[in-house]
Every structure is written in C-alpha cells, then in structure tokens.
Structure 1
Amino acid sequence: MVTFLPRLPGRLADVPSFDRAIGGAESNVACTLARTGHTARWISRVGADGFGDHLLAAVADCGVDVTHVRRDPLRPTGIYFRTAGDRATDTHEVAYYRAGSAASAMTAADLDRNAVHSGRILHLSGITAALSEDCLGLMHELTARRPGRPLLSFDVNHRPGLWREPSRAQALLELARGADLVFVGDDEAREAWGLHGAQAISEALPEPDLLVVKQGRRGATVFRRTTGTGARDGGAVGERADATRTATFVPSLNVDLVAATGAGDAFAAGFLSATLRALPVRTRIRHGHLWAAAALTVPGDLATPPGRAHADRLADLDDAAWERLHLGPGWTEAAASGRRADASGHRAGTSGRRGDASGRRADEEVRTP
C-alpha cells in the first residue's frame, strides 16, 4: 500500500497534511531483508496508476525483485491513512482504502508456483487473507501442506478494521496451522481467538515447528519442536509425530519510542534473517528485537535495520548487558558511522530486571508438553 503519515499529532479529522510513504506487511519484510543483503522477491498486485508506480520504484530501490508484481488496469492501488499514536492506545486511528484494490483481486488461479516456491522461505501475512474471499482462498492454497514447498512463515497480523465480521478472523488460526513458522502477538491472539497467554497459544497451535509469541514490552517466547519426523528449519514438508517443544523467552530492549507501526514486520524480518543464517533460536529472537528497535525509533513503517556485524555483536551480549542496552533514534546510523556503542542515540541504560510471569531467567529453556 501507499501509506500517508500525519505531519502533526491529532485525530485524522484534525490533521491538515500527510507525508507519503510505502507500507504493507509483506513488502516491509522483503525490503528490510534486502537492505541487509538477503535476496528477496515481492509478489503482489498493484494498480496501473501513479501510486503503483511509486510503490514498485520504492520497493525495488530497497533491492527487492518486483518482476512478479502484476499491474491491474481496472483497480487502484490500495492506500491507508493513520495517526501518529501507538496502535495499542485509543488515540490510534487507521483509515484503510483497500476494498476493490488491485491487491484484493489476487486469486489462487493467478498463482505462479515457480515464483512463489523459488526461495528458501515463503513469508505470508494474515492481512492478505482479510482483503477478500479470493485472497482468503489464495492463502488457503499457499498454506496447504505439500511436498517441495519452502519453509512457510506466517505472520498472523490480525487487523480488526479489515474484517467485516470479527468471527471471520478465526480463519487466521486455520492458516497458521498450515505454516512451519508462525508469528503472533499475545494481544492479537486474545482479540481474534480468545486465547490468553503464550502457553494457551502454543496448545492451540501444535502444528508449526516454530511458534513465535510476541509479548509486547516484555519480550517474546519461541516454542520450538524438538522431536518428531516433521521437525525442521527448512527442507521438504513431512509428516509430523507427537512431539515436545522447548520454550525460549528473551526480553525486549529498552527503546525511546517514536512510533510502533512496522515493528512487528521488522521483528519478523530480523528473525527470518537469523533463520536463513541458521543461528540458534535465542539469537534469532534477539535479532528480531534489534530490528524491531530500529522500527520503533523512526516515525514511518519502514526503518533501516542495523548492519549485520553490529547486530551480531549486540545479539552476543550477556544477559545483564542485553537488559541494560538502551536504544534511541538514530542508533542504526550511529553504528554505521562507527561511533561507539554508548554514543548519543545508542547508549547503555538502566532498567529493572525483566522476565516472564513464572520468574524464569531470560533465555531459559524449559520443556513443555
């Protein structure tokens, strides 16, 4: 989509002007991965209009392959407006103009399976499923378990404003069950499915090999399958046996928040980057937090992620140093310019110790049924 960001705080009714940017969960992930050296392809549909021209140029400028994005001469490119407030607060407003958009006309019949399956990871979002019945059918086709598909990553991305009937969001649970790697916030699982807490979410989603439950300011817990014939981080899809999971919790970072929009996509991109590099689960979560911190400290949906070497160094900090880390606006640029880690905009801070409700230490692994 083309995104319009307010130049001033306030209600949409009161904001007099907006800045144009690009947005969209899947394209955000693709752009972020490409900016850190991964090969990324974005497959979608946009209008044959000026906004479509802008989207294609902006996404391609990030290094993403857009040759499989179709242009629709009959339907417009989707757009949306939002306020500057945090999505989790009552002050946040979003106005979507996506009904009848080019992207909403995507169907399973249009699927280019060679293009979709050519990568090591296929990343999907629940936002696409909400656009139309055709898009929901496309998502069912893509999440069907078939031999030879790449590792399938699915970000639930529940957006109540896109679902005309709230009960329809239950479809997201079925889609998640077809994925190998699932990202879901505990808040959206509660709102969409009535599930409370990471353990309840894990019990409702036993199928994925990796389940990432994002817990807001507290951190994230990853449930990882440890036994069974289907367990994998890549390769062909196989039959699954009953298995146990390990749960790994890593606390979030302290950041000077500018805007929360786009942080979930950045977290997914950081986690997927580390997955492509076959890093340990604990390190993957830390990369997710670091890339989310880059998004949280800028006003737009799309942030410049930290350089790989810099992110690796921070991800290798011991628990105490990780919990003291405090990141502010410009910290990724500060690192790129060679300034020290405690320089302005990327400084060590102090905070109380964080952990989950059980009192376990950060990063502790525990077996769960």
Structure 2
Amino acid sequence: MEIVTFGESMVLFNPDTTGPLRYVHNFNKSIAGAESNVAIALARLGHHVGWFSKIGDDEFGRYIKAIIRGEGVDVSRVVTDPHNNTGLLFKERFAHVNPNVYYYRKNSAASNMVIKDLDFDYIKSSKILHVTGITLALSPSARETVFKAVEFAKANNVLVSFDPNIRLKLWRIEEARPTLLEMAKLADIIFPGQDEGRLLLGTEDPKEIAREFLDMGCKIVAVKLGKEGCYLAKQEEDEFVTGYIVEKPEDTVGAGDGFAAGFLSGVLQNFSLRGCGQLANAVGAMATLVRGDMEGFPTLQQVQRFMGTEEYIDR
C-alpha cells in the first residue's frame, strides 16, 4: 500500500437547477468527502491507495463503499455501524458563485469513529498516511482516533500528510485553531491555503505561513494559492510554482483535494519539489473542469496531456 487515508464520506445531492433548494425538484446523486477525494484522485493517477471510514448499515453507506471501490481504492477496512446513519450533503447553486453547502451529518456513523476502528497493521503497511482537519472536527472520539493513527504512523516511519481543511460549519475557530496546530506539529507534509494561514497563524503571506509550519517541525509545506499556483518550502529550498489558468471553471470543490493528491503522487515518484508542485497544480486545475467533487480528477495520461508532456491526438 502506498497511501492510506480515512475520514467521512457522504452522499452528495447536487441540484439540476440553480436557485433556493425549496424550488429544486431534481438532484444528481454522487459522493463527497475530502479524504476519499484524495484517495480516488491518487488511484486514477495509478497509485495503490486505501481508504477507510465508518458507514451506516444503509443503502447510502453501501453506495459510498461501492463507488470508492469502483474507482480502484481498497475499502477492505471500512467499518459498518448498525446504529448510526451515513451522512448526507446537499448543495445549493447560484450562477457564477460557489455553492452553498448543507450538511446532514450530526451523529453520523463516521462521527462515531473510535480508536478500535483502526487497523494498525494496515496503517503500518503504507508509505504515507493522509489525514484532514475535517475528521478532527467531527467529534471528540473521531479527533482522538486521528491523533492515535498519526502518532502510530510516526512511530512506525510512515510519513504523515495533513490538510487543515478548516470547516467553520463544523466547529468554531477558537476550538479548531489549537487542535489543528497540534496536528500540524506532527505532520511531515502540510497543505494550508492562504485563508487557513490567516485563521491559524494570522498571516496570508505564503512565505510566512511556510516558515511558521517549518518551525513547528513540518518537513514540506505546500501553500495553496488557487489559480496562482502554490508556494513550496523545505528547510533549505523554496519556490513559487505557477498555476494553470482555467478560463471557465465548472466547479471549484475538490480542487484542493486534487492538489494534495497530485503533490503526494509526485512525492511517491521522487519528483523534485517543483515537479511535485507542477503535478499538484495540474490535477487541482483539472478538478475544476467538471461539475462534482471528484468527477474531474484525471488519469495519469490525461494530466500529462494537460501539462503538455504527452502528445494528444484527438482524431
């Protein structure tokens, strides 16, 4: 196993039309979840990746598991909870702006994750463990489970990748900040955005964000700058990597997860810091070309064509 990740995935209902949900009658069903997004994106890039969670003993849980398994991700450690339901998510769309998001995940199966749900041998078998701040926000037991998994990974020479992924609909920043910073101190690779730098560190300057996290002990900091690209830093190396322009993005949700997956793919392939950033930028940009949280993640051949490293013959 190259990468293992875990966290809540929900069934996503995407409206067919724009406007307030009270006027919407038809929805497309798919899945949403930061960690499963990363897992799916990595699998499409050709990596051996595992995702686990706790799902309800219901049709929504079975649907999530089937979709992720169908994308080539190992789901053998997913736990089924007979007492709690799978979480749901509805989007509300208005023209040319990011959608509103409505969660129905309180007391969901995934929010009831506990340490005994972890398979430590499974984590130990991987090269990288990827976690996000979303799972930390779900509940005290989920938070305890993430910290236990990360501490075990570090004790067994598994790299820890961390995306803060602040969700203020799940917890207040006063609660989130100390927890996320505590996790950052354990991370080897961290993926903050500028807004997260402001919320956690009081600065949106990419260089200052990177320096703060490096001083905490992170080995690599990849600051996401949206369409501008990214700023990457190690202790002895740093640089800005220009992004890819998407003239008419269809949906920006999932771009950050695609970025993380592209970067981790580069790490697994021993790319240079710049090479990791270029691949991350490309996968993140391609995620915005398609409506949906994970539908736009490219295969390796598709991203190579997008980057211009492989010739494309369309007919």
Taking structure 2 as the reference length, the TM-score comes to 0.89
Q: Does 1:97 align with 2:97?
A: no
Residue 252 of structure 1 is matched in structure 2 by 243
Task: Report which structure shows greater RCO (CA 8 Å, sep ≥6).
Answer: 2
Q: Secondary structure at the match of 1:303?
A: coil
State the shift of 1:86 in Å. 9.1
Q: Which moved further from structure 2: 51-60 or 34-43? A: 34-43
2:253 partner amino acid: T
Is the 1:35–1:304 Cα contact (8 Å) retained in structure 2?
no
Say which of 21, 29, 47 aligns to 1:20. Answer: 29
Q: Percent identity?
A: 37
Q: Does 1:221 align with 2:235?
A: no
Counterparts in 2 of 1:302 and 1:313: CA distance versus 1, 3 Å: closer
Q: Does 1:173 align with 2:176?
A: no
Counterparts in 2 of 1:264 and 1:26: CA distance versus 1, 3 Å: same
Q: Does 1:282 align with 2:290?
A: no
Is the 1:294–1:303 Cα contact (8 Å) retained in structure 2?
no
Is the 1:126–1:172 Cα contact (8 Å) retained in structure 2?
yes
Residues in 2 aligned to 1:12 and 1:314: alpha-carbon distance in whole angstroms: 35
Residue 203 of structure 2 is matched in structure 1 by 195
CA offsets per residue over residues 39-96 of structure 1, 9 Å max, x none?
A: 1111111001000010011000001111100000000011111223599x5x631111
Counterparts in 2 of 1:71 and 1:37: CA distance versus 1, 3 Å: same
Taking structure 1 as the reference length, the TM-score comes to 0.76
Report which of the two has the higher share of helix.
Answer: 2
Q: Flag as ranges the 4+ runs of structure 1 deviating above 6 A.
A: none
Paired residue total: 301
Q: Does 1:150 align with 2:141?
A: no
Residues in 2 aligned to 1:307 and 1:106: alpha-carbon distance in whole angstroms: 32
Q: Which moved further from structure 2: 193-202 or 209-218? A: 193-202
Residues in 2 aligned to 1:307 and 1:215: alpha-carbon distance in whole angstroms: 23
State the shift of 1:304 in Å. 4.5
2:219 partner amino acid: D
Q: Secondary structure at the match of 2:50?
A: coil
CA offsets per residue over residues 277-310 of structure 1, 9 Å max, x none?
A: 1111111111111111221000100135444245
CA offsets per residue over residues 129-179 of structure 1, 9 Å max, x none?
A: 00001111112223337432311111111111111x321111112112211
Counterparts in 2 of 1:101 and 1:86: CA distance versus 1, 3 Å: farther
Residues in 2 aligned to 1:315 and 1:297: alpha-carbon distance in whole angstroms: 14
Greater Rg, structure 1 or structure 2?
Answer: 1
Q: Name stretches of at least 5 consecutive residues in structure 2 with no aligned partner.
A: 1-9
State the shift of 1:313 in Å. 6.1
Residues in 2 aligned to 1:82 and 1:301: alpha-carbon distance in whole angstroms: 11
2:198 partner amino acid: R
Residue correspondence of structure 1 range 62-73 to structure 2 within 5 A: 62-73=71-82
Q: Name stretches of at least 5 consecutive residues in structure 1 with no aligned partner.
A: 227-245, 318-331, 341-369
Is the 2:120–2:149 Cα contact (8 Å) retained in structure 1?
no
Is the 1:86–1:259 Cα contact (8 Å) retained in structure 2?
no
Say which of 107, 115, 118 aligns to 2:114. Answer: 107
